[in-house]
Amino acid sequence: MNNMKNSMNLGAVALVGIMCQSISLNAYAQNFRVEVGTSDHRDFICDVAKIADDLTARDLGGRSSNFWTKTARGGKFEATEPTKVRVASSAPEVARRELFAFYQKNAALVRGTFPDKGQQPIDSVVKACVPDPSSTRGVKVTAVSDDKYKVLLRDKDHLLKFVALNTTQLSEEQLIGLFNPSAILPSDAFERKAFYQKESKRLAPDIAAAEKGPFILEGEVKLRPYDFNLGQFEILNLIASAESYGYTYDMNARVFPQKPIYKLSSSTAYSVYKPRSIEEAKKIEAARSKDGLKLRTFVQPVKAWLNGDKPEIDGVITKIEVASMDGKILFSMPAK
């Protein structure tokens, strides 16, 4: 009898432990976010050390996760890479101190292959912070109807959008290199010049027709399972998902254009979605758990420039649509 009671007690303790662990994990997923403050009018990129590196977990890009990628997931702090964090702040040194304080407060709460107690000095954690040249924080968007947004489908469409918006002076050689990066250039200077002229003539009609207007990026997005306690879905790495856009290309094409980088920002957190009814929640959960979800991101462009040798387009997200893999829209969220 005593053994039975002991077993029941142990079972109860185990159940409570599981419940507590579930609650703590749920809190873990929600509690690290820091909202952007009124004085945070600029973005800075901070070089950081790998903290609590977790070799067993991978992010959407297949990279190993660490303290930054697990906690700085939007708002004031956003990990763009395992060793780079974008910080909304007022000045570079302020951003550095704020990011270090974030580390001190939260590092011990995050597990990893190499755990960290949050006691390293600032020089070992946050190397330096510099202004983010791709920042669009504070840029005001205009009211534009959805039909004005053009879907960028082909690989060439993305590069043509870059050319239309580009503010960087491009040489003929650079321009041709973007559209035909694998071209084998003649060693003879006159032959090389003739090649550039031929390629420029081929591209001229498309470049002339390229538009600067708003556009839609298509890709995929992941949601966590429906949270019955909070009545919501957590959207995982929305901006990173939008920037990792998809496209089609002609398998028979002779050349494959260079893929532009997108750097996007938004006035809306886009971290959670609360369904308006349990029936809506069921539809979203069914699509999420079965085949995955499509993402359509509505973007108003701000600028485009050549970042090193990479074409970059910076823009502001004005709306997102999440759909099932067969294209049925499950929910949309306009920017506030």
Residues 117 and 161 both lie in one domain: no
Higher pLDDT: 149 or 57? It is 149
277-324 pLDDT, tens digit per residue, is: 999 999 999 999 998 999 999 999 999 999 888 999 999 999 999 999
pLDDT recorded at residue 62: 58
Q: Chain-wide mean pLDDT for the chain?
A: 86
pLDDT recorded at residue 27: 35
153-205 pLDDT, tens digit per residue, is: 988 999 999 999 998 888 888 999 999 888 889 999 999 999 999 999 999 99
Higher pLDDT: 152 or 10? It is 152
Residues 185 and 114 both lie in one domain: no
| The pLDDT of residue 250 is above 70 | no
Residues 179 and 255 both lie in one domain: yes
In this prediction, residue 59 has a pLDDT band, given cuts at 50, 70 and 90, of low
Which domain range does residue 159 map to?
A: 146-334
Domain assignment present for 120: yes
pLDDT recorded at residue 81: 87
Residues 43 and 173 both lie in one domain: no
Higher pLDDT: 253 or 118? It is 118
Question: Are the beta carbons of 288 and 225 closer than 8 angstroms?
Answer: yes
Whether pTM > 0.85 for this model: the answer is no
Residues 196 and 326 both lie in one domain: yes
In this prediction, residue 86 has a pLDDT band, given cuts at 50, 70 and 90, of very high
Domain assignment present for 259: yes
Domain assignment present for 138: no
Residues 317 and 219 both lie in one domain: yes
Residues 190 and 105 both lie in one domain: no
Residues 161 and 299 both lie in one domain: yes
pLDDT recorded at residue 55: 75
Report percent pLDDT > 70 for the chain.
87
Residue with structure tokens 């304080």? 101
pLDDT recorded at residue 57: 64
pLDDT recorded at residue 137: 79
